[in-house]
Chain A
């Protein structure tokens, strides 16, 4: 996976050609009544063919906005700077037509609440048909049915043939998310972005969806971006993890490495803040991160985590820490922290 050199965050398409998505110096600002809201203040990453990149962050971290930018889904009044390259082509300057051609067939996306993503008056079969037709007007109902059945079997919907006649309300949340995934795959995209795909689901169903995405990633050689606030879940499905906070990427690296030896104090604090199985209030207090999540309309000039960081130094408050790189056994790591090694 690593090509022997320590890469800068968000490098452009690498010589080995395995990078399908490259985001560089992405900044997204929304105008609001309370002043400009700086949702993303500097995000960069690459996605390689066939890998699963997990993006972890709390609410307001910019994780969803930075993914929506990849599909050109941001509202018109958003100011977007930087570069997003899909297959070597710049997305941020694309015309509407090009964007539409890319969506679904190169990059596809699934969202948090599957029940809200379906039109309740269309049967599942009709929804598939419409999705196929959006790319190819010549698709016949018969072809559409065949392809839909195959896709539904791929996401393990039993009795797919019969269920095409059903309407969204006749499915459970977990089933609908499976169908959503099938729809997202219907025009054979290379990249699938899953934005909190299990957050509205029960934990037992969440495990199924996580396993399904993993399976599809392998069987289809999909490049997957898995966005979640749940560090444990992302750790379970992702090959590499990217940690965002306050609109900035604080850390990127191989999953196991980031979670066992985090370089960013934020990642470490987040890991410690999760109650461990077997811990009990009578024996230990939960580790807490002081303070509140940052207000994106009033970003700090320095590291967004500085006001809450236990290791904070004066320089942390001055400017966003520069990108640093280190190597792990299974690949490269980058992080933004000036505290040496951030080991404390």
Chain B
């Protein structure tokens, strides 16, 4: 599956045909047997040391996909493999039924949430927030021995040792996101999953956090899965970019190749929709057709309802990813 890859960097994570179907509860007014097809067969490698940027709109499945990786949401089908050492000899299959592997995996891959004000316990001091995992771990160490690492990570994210005694409410949104990052880094993970980590922040603060992420990546040799809806931010941060729509990967490319020329009609629509003051908004472009409906079993290309290039085959056959330029793969019957 990775034989056609130009990049020879060894993978850290490999998703193969990952699917997630949610069953909706039947209720007083709701019929039984309704489902949400959130992720519909996504295969991708995240190379060791790279930043993989996953971009998509709401409902694209980007957050669900990320959550299946750490099993906050167990996947329905497919495989998620983690390669703990450089090379492909050893790999761990990640799933909800292997608790011991999952525990070791979660120490390696940390999830950073969008809204730091709701993901930090307001009653805990920053020190307790950072060390909570270590304190409750089996054989967890006494408080004193945790301080040096807490000091190290809080300074790495640009805050001070004295901040360890304060509580989340005393910090601004940007500073809280720094604390979330420090918490993720505490256990010395090999990867971070950053899910919309700057979208709740003001523009003037956003840049500080993005620069910090780049710096942390270098300092701690991190692999990052960077998830966002903002195409410009993703293209700045990522080494490779994956575009998700309707729970499927529409396009995947090295950042430079993607930025130079997004190929999939959906990627092009996303690109044209970026508000730029020197360009008039696309009057008609996005105006046609119907969006992907995740409550119907998917058939064909998820974008076929809105695509300007649509043909009959698009509604029945789901296009596979085809490589059109080195490392640049597109799931479309007609592009290329």
Contacts and interface: CB of A to CB of B under 8 A. Distances in A.
B274 interface: yes
Interface in A191-236: 202-208, 210-211, 214-215, 229-236
Contact of B282 (A59, A207, A275, A279): A207
A308 B51 CA distance: 31
A289 interface: yes
B279 A203 contact: no
B210 interface: yes
Interface string A248-277: 000000011001000000000110011111
B29 to A, nearest CB: 11
Interface in A279-332: 279-281, 285-289, 292-293, 308
Interface residues of B, number: 45
A280 B236 CA distance: 4
A211 B285 CA distance: 11
A234 B278 CA distance: 11
Interface residues of A, number: 46
B264 interface: no
A292 B273 contact: no
A211 B282 contact: yes
B281 A202 contact: no
B86 interface: no
B30 interface: no
B259 interface: yes
A58 B278 CA distance: 21
A280 B229 contact: no
A160 interface: no
Contacts, number: 122
Given A229-B202, A277-B232, A286-B211, A172 B291 contact: yes
Nearest to B271: A277
A256 B279 CA distance: 11
A237 B287 CA distance: 18
Interface string B242-278: 0000000000000110010000000001101111111
B233 A210 contact: no
Contacts of B208: 288-289
Contact of B286 (A204, A280, A285, A286): A204
A206 B270 CA distance: 11
A286 B236 contact: yes
A82 to B, nearest CB: 26
A203 B277 contact: no
A211 B281 contact: yes
Given A204-B273, A286-B210, A293 B287 contact: no
Contact of B275 (A59, A232, A287): A232
Given A206-B273, A275-B232, 18 more contacts: A58-B203, A58-B204, A59-B202, A204-B286, A207-B282, A207-B285, A207-B286, A210-B281, A229-B203, A231-B203, A231-B277, A232-B276, A235-B276, A236-B279, A273-B206, A288-B204, A293-B202, A308-B204
